[in-house]
Every structure is written in structure tokens, then in C-alpha cells.
Amino acid sequence: MTTDMSIISLIMGASLIVQFVLVTLLSASFVSWSIIFTKRRLIRRTKTASDEFEANFWSGGDLNTLYRNATRQKDGSVGMASIFEAGFREFNRGSQQDDIQPDKLLEESRRAMHIAQMREVDRLEQSLATLATIGSTSPYIGLFGTVIGIMNSFMGLGNAQTATLAQVAPGIAEALIATAMGLVAAIPAVVAFNRYADKVARLEIRYDGFTEEFLSILQRHARAKKRSA
């Protein structure tokens, strides 16, 4: 007798526990790739928007014009433009108060930009924890399926008078598919998590630098306003 050793046949002939493990890993892989593609578009869009805004900002344009352009974005400002919008809005609101001190005005603008930056970073980091979880747990889930499959194979040999490789091979093969599926789900998730976490960290450093530089500009504006008053 010949045994069908195709992957589909091995999966269909596997125990219910192993099949459940394989379905779980397949679902995890689908979720992982969905997050990877979504996060890739989001980070690319945010980086491109930040590059464009930063180029316009340092080109010497009028701050009020930049603010109006940021508020007119169809889907709302993102990235560095969002931080600028929050800080400049708070600065303009505080500047309308005659008795406000420059230090307090700058502190309120800093707080507004810090909150906007936290929202931007949170938006970028969303679902990264899911990638990390899939990357760290998938190999162990696959190993669990492998252990169960091998146990079933050897338990099935307990009632046999003779044990041959042909009897053991299908069970071990279907068990090892779970390990392979665990690695298939884990490797892209780990690679994507490390890559995107690095990109988010780099953007966050850029946001910090822009916030400090923009506060220096606002400080000069606040001092000039105080002298003119």
C-alpha cells in the first residue's frame, strides 16, 4: 500500500487538535499580513507628509499660511503638520490674552504639541503589539501542534505488533507541518515589528526636534509681541 504524503492530505488526515492549531496559525498569519500592509501605508503616508511639511516650514514661509494649509487638509493634518497645528493654535489663542506671560504662553504651546505628538505616535504604534504577540507566540503554538501530532503517532503504534517507518512517517510529517506553519506566521511578524518600530522611533525623534525648534521660533515671536506691547 502507498501512502499519500501530499500536504493537503496530511492536513486533512491530522487530528482535530492539530487542525485547530493550523487554523489558528493561518488566521494569525492573515492578521499579521493585514497589519503589515496597513501599517506600511500609514507610516509611508505620515513620513511623506512630514517631509513635505518640514520642507515648506523651513523654506521661510509665513506661519499663518502654513497653519491655514494644515487646517484645510481633507483628511486632517498628519505627522509634523498636526503637531505644528496644535502648537500654533494654542499660541494664537494665548496671544489674544493681554495679560499672559511669554513663559506661560510657550508652556501651553509645548503642552499642546506634546499631546498632539502622543496622539501621532499612538496612531503609528497601534497594532504593533499584535505583531509582536504573533511573532513571539506562533512558534510555540506550532510546537504544541507538533508535540500533539507526534504523541498521536506513537500512541497509534502502541497497539501495533510491528513498527515501520511507513507507519510513523505520516503522523510525524503532519505534526511537523504545525511547526513550519508557526514559523511562517512568526517570521514576517517579527521582521515587520522590528522594522516598523524603528521607523516610528525615528519619526518620534524628528517630532521632538521639530517641537524644540518650533518653540524657539514661538519664543522669539512672544518676546517681540511683549516688546511691541
What digits encode the pLDDT tens for the residues 27-71? Answer: 999 999 999 999 999 999 999 999 999 998 888 778 888 888 888
Nearest to 203 by CA among 80, 93, 114, 98: 80
Q: Is the pLDDT of residue 118 over 70?
A: yes
**Which of the four pLDDT bands, split at 50, 70 and 90, describes residue 200?**
very high
State the average pLDDT over residues 117-141: 94
Quickly tell me which residue has 516610528 as its cell.
200
Per DSSP, 161 falls in state S
Grid cell locating 137:
507566540
Q: What is the pTM of this model?
A: 0.82
Average pLDDT, the chain: 85
pLDDT on residue 1? 39
Amino acid 11 reads I
pLDDT on residue 2? 44
Neighbours of 22 (CB within 10 A): 21
Nearest to 39 by CA among 183, 186, 200: 200
Q: For 80-103, what is each residue's pLDDT tens digit?
A: 999 999 999 999 888 887 777 878
Per the model's pLDDT, the better-predicted residue between 147 and 195 turns out to be: 195
80-95 and 165-228 helices cross at what angle (nearest 10)? 30
Q: Is the pLDDT of residue 224 over 80?
A: no
* Angle at alpha carbon of residue 216, lines to 213 and 220, rounded to 5°: 145
